Amino acid sequence: MGQMTNEELMRKIQQEGTIFDVTEQRSLLLKRGMGFPVDKEAEWVVITGCYNLLLFTPVYTFGKLLKAFGVDYTFLAKEYCCGHPLVTEADKQGKSVEEMRAIGKCGNDGMRKNRDVAIKLNAKGIVTICPGCLCMSQEYAAGDGMGYVFILDFISRYFQGGKLSLAFDLYEGCHKYHSHFPSFDLDLHGAKNLLNKVQGLSINEVPSLLCCLRKPESVFARCKTKQLVTPTPCCYYFLNNARLKDGVQVTYFGEILCRSLGI
């Protein structure tokens, strides 16, 4: 993806719906690999985002939690990109905030298509695992008749607490690529608030102002344990790529909640 121009990425999204060639494998992975409902009528449609299905763990742990909570949900066999990957690439290329916001508008069509599928499935809302998708929905899809909820806010409706004896570092993420958009609204302490419901945890908070993409070493340097937990899928990806082989282990936030519930 890094070798493609913005115009090529935009054309790929318009033609194929996503920046990655995973459409054919998507349904098979969700249905057989994870055992989750796909394209079923449900109260909630879950949007994974372009990157997260490739990471597996964020999607899988969230699905396990939804099943444990008894939520009526479904994933989609095909998703359409919200356009946020183009914003990330534009920022890397040094484009201005105005240019990035203009580029982000190309995701409007994709979000409308996801919304239309959700409506056909009689869903009352869309839950997104990806903060980038949340950012784009808040900036461009407000008032489209479909409620968008971020994964942490959704889990907080159901998670009553758990038990787990564990010490780890917590990095919530700086969300620098989302803060360019004035409509972006996310509780930056959402993961900590949920983890406070788990008995037995000892948490060292790593400052979220640090950027795991630009200076991952600065994040690891503030760790006091051998396990770093993050609720942000992109941070989970960047930090795992940057970690030393014998260094701090990077764990997705959902895994902690699942372990605290024994699932």
CA gap 89, 180 in Å, rounded: 13
Note whether 31 and 144 are same-domain residues. Answer: yes
CA gap 64, 149 in Å, rounded: 18
Note whether 125 and 215 are same-domain residues. Answer: no
What tokens appear for 189 in the block?
């302490």
Q: Is residue 1 part of a domain?
A: no
Note whether 21 and 143 are same-domain residues. Answer: yes
3-class DSSP assignment, residue 59: helix
Note whether 102 and 218 are same-domain residues. Answer: no
Note whether 16 and 135 are same-domain residues. Answer: yes
Note whether 21 and 132 are same-domain residues. Answer: yes
Q: Is residue 25 part of a domain?
A: yes
CA gap 239, 76 in Å, rounded: 28
Tell me, what CATH number does 57's domain have?
3.40.50
Note whether 21 and 135 are same-domain residues. Answer: yes
Return the bridge partners of 230, or none: 252
Range of the structural domain that residue 61 is part of:
6-156
Q: Is residue 229 part of a domain?
A: yes
Note whether 20 and 106 are same-domain residues. Answer: yes
CB 13, CB 19: distance < 8 Å: yes
Write down which residue in 138, 156, 174 finishes a domain.
156
The count of domains in the chain is 2
CA gap 206, 227 in Å, rounded: 12
* Strand (E) or helix (H) holding 118: helix 108-120
Write down which residue in 125, 156, 187 finishes a domain.
156
| pLDDT at site 80 | 86
Write down which residue in 156, 188, 217 finishes a domain.
156
pLDDT in tens, the chain (263 residues): 446 666 777 777 766 667 665 666 778 888 888 999 999 999 999 999 876 666 789 999 999 999 999 999 999 988 888 887 777 777 777 787 777 777 777 667 788 888 999 999 999 999 999 888 888 888 777 656 778 899 999 999 999 999 999 999 999 988 766 666 666 666 778 899 999 999 999 999 999 889 998 899 999 999 999 999 999 988 999 999 999 988 999 999 999 999 999 99
Note whether 138 and 10 are same-domain residues. Answer: yes
Cα-flanking dihedrals φ and ψ of residue 149, to 5°?
Answer: -125, 135
User: For the segment 188-228, what is each residue's pLDDT rounded down to a tens digit?
Assistant: 788 999 999 999 999 999 998 899 988 999 999 999 999 99
Q: Is residue 146 part of a domain?
A: yes
- End-to-end C-alpha distance for the chain, whole angstroms: 36
Return the bridge partners of 74, or none: 45
| pLDDT at site 142 | 61
Note whether 14 and 89 are same-domain residues. Answer: yes
Burial class (CB in 10 A: 0-12, 13-18, 19+), 77: middle
User: For the segment 4-16, what is each residue's pLDDT rounded down to a tens digit?
Assistant: 666 777 777 766 6
Note whether 141 and 34 are same-domain residues. Answer: yes
CA gap 263, 261 in Å, rounded: 6
Note whether 123 and 16 are same-domain residues. Answer: yes
